[in-house]
Structure formats: C-alpha cells, structure tokens
A and B are shown apart, each in its own frame.
Chain A
Amino acid sequence: MEVPADLEARIDEAITHYPVSRRSAVLPVLHLLQHHFRYITEESVAWTAAKLGLEPIQVLEVVTFYPGFRQTAPGKVHVRVCRTLACAMAGSYELLEKFCQASGIDREAINHHHPIGVSPDGKYSIEFVECLASCGTAPVCLVEDDLHEKVDPAAVDKVLAQYS
C-alpha cells in the first residue's frame, strides 16, 4: 500500500486537530484513507496504527464498529440508499430493489449483517444505510458523494447513467 504524499500531508494536517489524544484521530485518518482507497484494508489498519502510535487492534475495533467503514472493495460507483423511516415510508425499499435490478446485484445478499452488495462486473455497489439527513426530500440516495433527492424508483437507470 502506497499512501501518496499529498494524501499523507492531508492526514498529517487532520491529526493536528486532535492534539490531546491521538486515538481520537483514528476516525479522520480512516475517512481520508477510505476516500482514497475506496475501502479499509488490513494494510490501512496497520498504516493508521503506525501513524498514530497505536496498536492495530485499536484501529480495527473502530473500523468494525462503524458501518460507514467498508472492509471489502465496493464497486466503481457506490450507491447508498437511505433505509430510515421517512425514506422507507417514501419508497426506499422499492428504490433499493430497482437499483439492484439495474445493476445486476442480488438483493437477497444485502441484509443487516452484509449491507453492501457488489455487481458481478464490479461496476456498482449498493449499500442500504441509516439516515442521510434529508427526510424532507425522501427517498434519497448518495451516489458517490452526490445526494439525489426525491428519487423516482422508475428512474434509477437515469441516475446510474450519469456515472457510467
């Protein structure tokens, strides 16, 4: 694993925001690494631990606690569909189904224990996630870092087409 110099510079800068406990800096470091590498590998865990002077297990426990950290590779385009109350009422389950159909992902493989499904061609991954904080415009989803509001389940092809 090679961490590019500019990424490491950003990580080093992020760490300065946590002057008292380097353990607190685990979260921002992991976010930056995940953003760059798409998911957290064992190497990333070891790298973070070494960076912060911690034991790797102290990083791993954080990685496994937060569902937001992925330990397996997502697709090239990662879609997060909100499953919390407002979106569920507004049709997010249907939205998830449609995304799965459109991308060839097995809906049955996505559950509470395994919230991410990846398409066989590796192009897409879909994650059923907790609240994305936009209940007024339900149902919503995040494609990569873009928020899509009031998504019509019938129009998922169009959404995905923007990222092909």
Chain B
Amino acid sequence: MSQDISPSTAFIDGKPFLFQSGETILNVVDRHLGRGHVPTLCDAPQLEPYGACRVCSVEVALQDGGPRRVVASCHTPMAPGMHIFTETQKVRRLRKNIVELVLTDHPLDCLTCEVNGNCELQTVAAKVGIRKVRYPEGENHLDRKKDLSHPYMTSDLSKCINCSRCVRACDEIQGQHVLSMHGRGFNARIIKGMDTTFEESPCVSCGACSQACPTSAISDVFMSKSIEATNKTRTVCTYCGVGCNLTVATKGNEVLSIQAPVDAEVNHAHTCLKGRFAFKFYNHKDRLRKPLIRQPDGAFKEATWDEAYEHIVTNLKRIIAANGPQAVAGISSARCTNEENYLMQKFIRHVVGTNNIDCCARVCHSPTAWGMQKSFGTGAATNSFEDIGYTKCIMVIGANPTEGHPVTGARLKQAVMKGTPLIVIDPRRIEIVPYAKYHLQLRPGTNVALLNMMARFILDEGLVKKDFVEKRCENWEEFEAGLRSLDMDALEKITGVDKELVRAAAIEYASSEAAMSFHGLGVTEHEQGAKTVMLISNLAMMTGNIGRPGVGVNPLRGQNNVQGAADMGCQPHQGAGYFEMNDIQVQKRYSEFYGTNTPSEPGWKIPQMFDNAIAGNLKALWLMGEDVVQTDPDAHHVRHAMDSLEFLVVQEIFMTETAKYADVILPAASFLEKSGTFTNAERRVQRVNAAVKPLEGTKPDGQIMCEIIQRFGHPQADYTPDGVLAEIAQIVPFFKGATWENLGEQGKQWPIREGGVDTQIMHVEQFARGKGHFHFFNWQESTELKTNGTEFPFILTTGRILEHYNCGTMTRRTGNSEIVAKDLLAINPADARAKSINTGDTVKLFSARGEVELEASVTDEVKPGILYTTFHFPENMVNNVTGQGCDADTLCPEYKVVAADIVKVS
C-alpha cells in the first residue's frame, strides 16, 4: 500500500486526513467527518479536553498494521502516521456499555424532559445503539430535588451524568469557581458554592454551565436548550462594548431564550447574565407603544405617527425660522446602530443645519477618542480581544472588567489565572484584584500623578525602547524633560501609593515582551481624563508596546455601540468618519455628497447644550434613546435644562426620567426588533439582525430618522440596514470595504479596506497620524476637591455593577432586579465606625449639589475617606450628588471624583 505519510497526515478508518500540530484525535475527526461521528458526553467545543466519560474511545495504531490500543480521542493528540479506528467492534461495545451504565442512574422520562430532542445523552444513546439497559435497577440518584431558587439558573441533578462540563465551564470560561464535584465514586455530585443553592452561591448567572450541560441537569428558567423555537437569529448584544454574538430563539414573534454561539470570535459560547437572560424588557408592559404628544394642560395624549411627525416638523421649523438652526440640537444613542446614529447626525447636520450633535460618548470615552487621536491619530483600541491570549503582561486602569465588560473580564481573568502578570490601577479592590500581581490603590483623581511616576521609573530603570521612540515617535525630549522634573516623593503622597510598588509595577510593564493595557471610565471621567489617556499612550510608546500582537492601548468601551456613534459623526467637532467640521474642504465634501449646505459654526457638546438651554439659546432638543436626567451628572442642573427647552423630542422604548420632560415621545424598537450594525470596543463592525418584528405601534430608530428626514422634504430612502451601510461606506473611509454581505457572522474590524480586508492590529508600520506624539502633563488637583473638599471631606466615586446597565431602564425590567434591586454605598469600616454606620443602615449622602439616601455597605474594598456607589436606580438618583466638574479637553463629566459627606439616617 503506498500512502502518503507526510508529517501532518493521519489515517481515520483507512483514509488519510490532514491535521495541524496540537489537534486532538477528536478535533480531527470532528473537523473532517463532522461532530458526532465519534460520540462523546464530556467533551464540548468551548472547553478544554477532559477525558472523563471515555465514550469517545477509539482504537489507535501508531503505524499501519501495528498493535492497537483503545484511547479517549478527546484528549489524545493526533500524531503523524497514526491510524485511528472509530467503529471497531471493541470500541462500539465499550461505548455502548459506558452509556448503559450512565443510563442506570438517569431518569428515562425523555418525552417530558425540557431538552427532549436536543439532549446529548439521548443522541449518544441512539448513536451507540442502546435498545435496553442490561443492568438491573440498583441504587441511584433519581430522587434528587430540583433547585429552582434562582431567578435564572435551575438544576435537576437527577439528570446529571457527572461529566463535569458545568464545572469546567464555570472554571474555564467564566472563572468563577462556583461549581465543583463533591465526593467520589457513587457519591460524586455537582455542588454549587459550599454545597448550597444557586441563589445562595456566588454564581454570577452567566449561564455558561447551562449551555455546556449535555442534559437538562443544569438549565435556566427560559429552557434555552429546548427545541421549542421555530427560528434562531444571530445578532449582537445590546449591553456593553464587548459586542457578544447571541443566538436568539424565537417562536412566532416571541423571544424564548438566548444562547451564545460557540463559533463567535468575540465571545466563544460565553456571555454574561445581561446578554443571555436580561431580555424580557423587550415586550414588558411598560414599553411605549404609541407616540405621545404633550397637551397644553401638561398631560400626554396618544397620537398617530402622522400627528406626531407633523407636530415635530411644525415646531422644529418654527423654531429654526425664529432662531436659526443653532437653536436646535440632537443627542444620539450609543445603544442604537451605526446606521441610526449616522442618520441622526445626517438629520441634525445636513437637514436642520447645525453641528449641535453629540452622543453619550461625551459622558464616557470622549477623552479616549480625543486623547488617542492626539497620541496615535485614531481614537480606538489598537488591538483585539484575541490579543489577550498573546500578551505577557496585562495592565487594567480605571476599569472593572469583570462587572462592566464581563466576557472580556472573564477572558482577562483566565489569562491571569494561567500566569500572565496583572497590574491593576484602581481606587477600589475590585473583583480581579486578588488575581493581580500589583494593585496600585490610588486616591481617586490622581491617575496623572501615578502614570507619571510609572513613566519616570521606566526612564530611571533604563527600560525605554529607544529605537522605537526614535523611529516611530516625536516630542520625546519634552516628555523626558517633564519626567525628570517630577518630585517622586510628592507624587507618592498625592497618590497614596508606595513608590516602590509603583516602581515594581512599572518594571513589570516595561520589561515585558508584550504588555497590553485596558482602561475604562476610571481614566476618562476625570478633570484630567484626556490627559490620562495620553499618558497611557506614552507608556505604550516608550516601551514599544504598539503595533504587535498582545500589546497596545485598549479602551473598554462602555456601551454596545459607543465606538460606532463617534465613528458615525455623532460629536459636534467631527463628522462621519472623524473629519474636522471646521475644515472648509471637509464642509465642501459633505455638501457635495448630501447636496445641502454643511454647517460651519462649531456645535455644542452635551454639557454646553444644557447650559445653552438654561441660557435660552437652545430651544429644541432631540434625544434618541438617552436618559440624560438620570445618567448625566448634577441631575438638578439637567432637569433645569430640560425645563428650559421650548421643545423636546424623545425617541425611547420606556418612559424614562428624561422622557417625562418631553413634548413628543416616539416609541422606538429595541435591539431585538431591528437590524443594522454595532461596532464593539475592538472596532469590530457586526451585524445586528432583528429576531422579532417591532412591537405593534413602535418603529426602529432608523426608520424614524428616515421618515423625519423625508418629512423635512429631503430625499431619503426608507430604512434598510444594507442601504444605509452602503451610504456610510461611501463617506467613512475606514468603512470603505464594508458591505452587509461581507460583514458575515463574525463582522469585520475597521479600517475595512476595499475587498473587505479588515484590521486586527493598528499602527503596525506607522501611527495613523504618522509619528506617535508624546505629551507631558503635570498632575492637578481636581477643582471639585479644591472647591468643596474641606466642607465635604469624603471622595465619592461612582461605577457600575454586573447585574445592571447604566440607568437600568432595561435591566430593571428583567429578573436582574430580583438579584440586585438597589444602589449601595460602600464605606470603609474605619469611617463607618467613626460615623456609627453599620451595613444595612440608611445613610444620607450629600454634596454641594444635593443629597440622596442610600443603604450602607461597610467594606474594606474602599480605602478610608473614599465612598463608592452606582447609579442604576432612579429611586436613588445618585446623580443628584455628582457635580459639573469635567475633563478640561472634552467636557466628559467627572463622575469619579465628588466631594461628599455622609450621615447616618437610621
């Protein structure tokens, strides 16, 4: 027999197949002959090989005609020239016997089981040909009780086959270590926490275990593995900037459940409880279903879409005629699609005729976009999530990824658990800190001081990558001189972090082969936010950590499409594609493209819109899916602005705190009811596909924008996602090669060149702006603390929790509210003692702006003098307390530093 035995060839049942080094026998069989050709119970594509069930046993000979051995194919590496026999009498008997033994301790009530038709045990039993179980009925565990304690997770361990897939999913995907195998042998059983219920355990409800479970032993209240659905739609999650792919199961026009696709490059079968379970808001009774127009008596009255549009057009035209287009402004939504954001800014700029367009990037990552543009030329992540697998050092600054960006957080945690050193720079002891090698627990508002210390230590230790700096960057001398002028002892006092610890962390980062930084709103929402971003960029440049796998500066973008909203031009100074609006050539280009005049007057940023509303300059505001009253700082001021407007249009899915001030409310459709694209934090433009039709009476935001443009008498086709994307591709250079078809299931990372070639890593040969630019800044104390710090001695810093999303409009209307139902105020034990406050007490939190009452949580996760809370609940309205301080460059609000005080109420 003359057969090719090249190094990458092996034989399966006599036929040669190619394989790659590192593949297991089962990998190769699955890939060439299809998943299921060799049955398995304990193996799952999203998990590491385990070798527990032995159902995947095959016979192996190392050479043709050589002696054969039975091995578990799932964890045996394929070797060149191996001969694999998948269906011999011996392995068939073995598999059958194993499955028979499993079935002796498994209920045979398949017809009434929720996974009937989609049960891997059922499939494997059929595949190996079980007709009856030869063993007599013996001791078993069929009487195990169900656990229905949790709002989402369920278990029925009478159905458990002890394959450990759930345990491995919890360990290998989420990294939570909530599940384990208790005991051994016949007594072995899955436990949650310290042998308790899902509800009592520290489970974070990501659902990875449920999805991995081959039976219904672990499932969820939506019975996600049932085959009841008639349709499955692949789309993208609407919550955070990770952009997890979701598979939405529907029946008729109802969403039944959501799973995470195994092949998704972004999330690999994983998603958090928001993405997987928090979808029931979509048809909640509170959804707005009819346009509402405010009557002269102040009450809202239901109206038809025609009436609402007519009312809007009449009023906006009247206001524009009387005051000019500058009296109108729009705030678009980073929750909406690229197409919708594009249309919104097109309407405001090219139909109304003003640059007064902004989006909620203003209140989160506008300093990132601005700062990284100054340093590198592009305001977006330099690398991809995949790089977490290649990096040798991770630095997390002002971000709480396990709560804010759970799937990326889990990926980071996995890398760290496998040995990648982690540096955390955060005022709180966040969840990932116990895994960190260094935790630099700085005083809020001192990021610039701390990063300057790190840069100086890198310089002092001789760890600057001089050739990178010389070849690729500029303005090094000024930066170096600035660093040399620093007084490190003074900075140590300012930050409150031991300088030797800072030195060690700086050495770790700078001497790593590939160091990757991630930052969040703890960087941007400061008076020196944009400056901090530029300092992070400095660290990357001075150590050569740019333009390679596993390096770079990577903002963890907050909202699902906050990257896209800015890309599409929803900011006053830059139009679609980041063209500067004050450039005459740019204005000319836009004017030619749209056939209208392009506004040249600078537009207002969100805080300026509020100020101008109060001053009487801004008369009309259009809000698309943005609850500024609850989420923007100093809510009293925002309410005053809303009250001062002559005309407020709100496009929303729920009656938000802001919508209550509207003159017209347009009922929009949620992400499950619309199509378009979202761009995630790694610049990946992904297709959002409608899983259900819009709720009766509602319209997708894109359709609303198209119709209003039409009603203003401008040519505009009706909304189609591919049509609007094609228009975007003509005007936004980095979308040039994007088409609806070629985005495919995985999406593409911009810049997308012609032909659809995308970009995983930016600034490889040179920076987008040519040379990377070093900037030096001295630290400055926040004005808020200088002004109010004496009267209000605590520093309040705000953030988010895993279970809720921003103002909670959506998550509060799901089972997530059964898990967390209020904002809590974290207080250090020493401070709590001094103020006689215990956990559970009601505490008044007050600042120069106002006061709120919150429940106290006494914890040493915050240092003495620091308070921490979230702003998810309108009942608490934490933003009554936050101030008007903001980033000097971008006006991003300073949510992270508020001079405050507390007193016990009860």
Which residues of A does B touch, CB under 8 Å? 42, 45, 53-58, 60-61, 64-65, 113
Contact = CB atoms under 8 A, between A and B. Distances in A.
Given A42-B194, A113-B187, A58 B180 contact: yes
B503 interface: no
B134 interface: no
Given A60-B182, A60-B191, A61-B180, 5 more contacts: A57-B177, A60-B180, A64-B183, A64-B184, A65-B184
A57 B195 CA distance: 9
A57 B171 CA distance: 11
Nearest to B183: A64
A60 B177 CA distance: 12
Interface of B: 177-184, 187, 191, 193-195, 434
B276 to A, nearest CB: 22
Contact of A55 (B177, B182, B184): B177
Contacts of B178: 57
A56 B434 contact: no
A56 B187 contact: no
B181 A61 contact: yes
Contacts of A54: 177
B628 to A, nearest CB: 41
A65 B184 CA distance: 5
B181 A60 contact: no
21 contacts: A42-B194, A45-B194, A53-B434, A54-B177, A56-B194, A57-B177, A57-B178, A57-B193, A57-B194, A58-B177, A58-B180, A60-B182, A60-B191, A60-B194, A60-B195, A61-B180, A61-B181, A64-B183, A65-B181, A65-B183, A65-B184
Contacts of B179: 57
A57 B187 contact: no
Contacts of A45: 194
Q: Which 10 A/B pairs are nearest by Cβ-Cβ distance? A: A55-B177, A61-B180, A57-B180, A64-B183, A64-B182, A65-B184, A57-B177, A61-B181, A56-B194, A58-B177
Nearest to A50: B434
A45 B195 CA distance: 13
A135 B120 CA distance: 46
A60 B181 CA distance: 9
A65 B181 CA distance: 9
A55 B194 CA distance: 10
Contacts of B194: 42, 45, 56-57, 60
A151 to B, nearest CB: 28
A61 B187 contact: no
Scoring A42, A54, A55, A58 by chain B CB atoms within 10 A of each residue's CB, the highest score goes to A55
Given A64-B183, A65-B184, A57 B434 contact: no
B182 A61 contact: yes
A51 to B, nearest CB: 13
Main secondary structure of the interface of A (DSSP, over half): helix
A45 B178 CA distance: 15
B183 A57 contact: no
B358 to A, nearest CB: 44
Contacts of B193: 57
Nearest to B184: A65
Nearest to A65: B184
Nearest to A20: B419
Nearest to A42: B194
Contacts of B183: 64-65
Nearest to A46: B194
B175 to A, nearest CB: 10
A84 B495 CA distance: 64
B586 to A, nearest CB: 55
Nearest to B139: A113
Contacts of A60: 180, 182, 191, 194-195
A54 B187 CA distance: 24
B191 A57 contact: yes
A57 B177 CA distance: 7
B188 to A, nearest CB: 8
A123 B269 CA distance: 55
Contacts of B187: 113
Scoring A55, A57, A60 by chain B CB atoms within 10 A of each residue's CB, the highest score goes to A57
B370 to A, nearest CB: 39
A53 B416 CA distance: 13
Contacts of A55: 177
Contacts of B195: 60
Contacts of A58: 177, 180
A56 B177 CA distance: 9
Contacts of A42: 194
A80 B811 CA distance: 57
A61 B171 CA distance: 13
A46 to B, nearest CB: 8
A42 B191 CA distance: 15
B21 to A, nearest CB: 25
A53 B181 CA distance: 20
Contacts of B181: 61, 65
Nearest to B434: A53
B162 to A, nearest CB: 13
B438 to A, nearest CB: 15
A64 B180 CA distance: 11
Nearest to A58: B177
Contacts of B180: 57-58, 60-61
Scoring B178, B180, B182 by chain A CB atoms within 10 A of each residue's CB, the highest score goes to B180
Nearest to A67: B184
Nearest to B178: A57
A16 to B, nearest CB: 19
Nearest to B182: A64
A42 B181 CA distance: 17
A55 to B, nearest CB: 4
Contacts of B434: 53
Contacts of B177: 54-55, 57-58
Scoring A42, A54, A56, A64 by chain B CB atoms within 10 A of each residue's CB, the highest score goes to A64
A64 B191 CA distance: 11
Nearest to B192: A57
A116 to B, nearest CB: 14
Contacts of A57: 177-180, 191, 193-194
A164 B181 CA distance: 39
B482 to A, nearest CB: 39
A60 B183 CA distance: 9
A113 B184 CA distance: 10
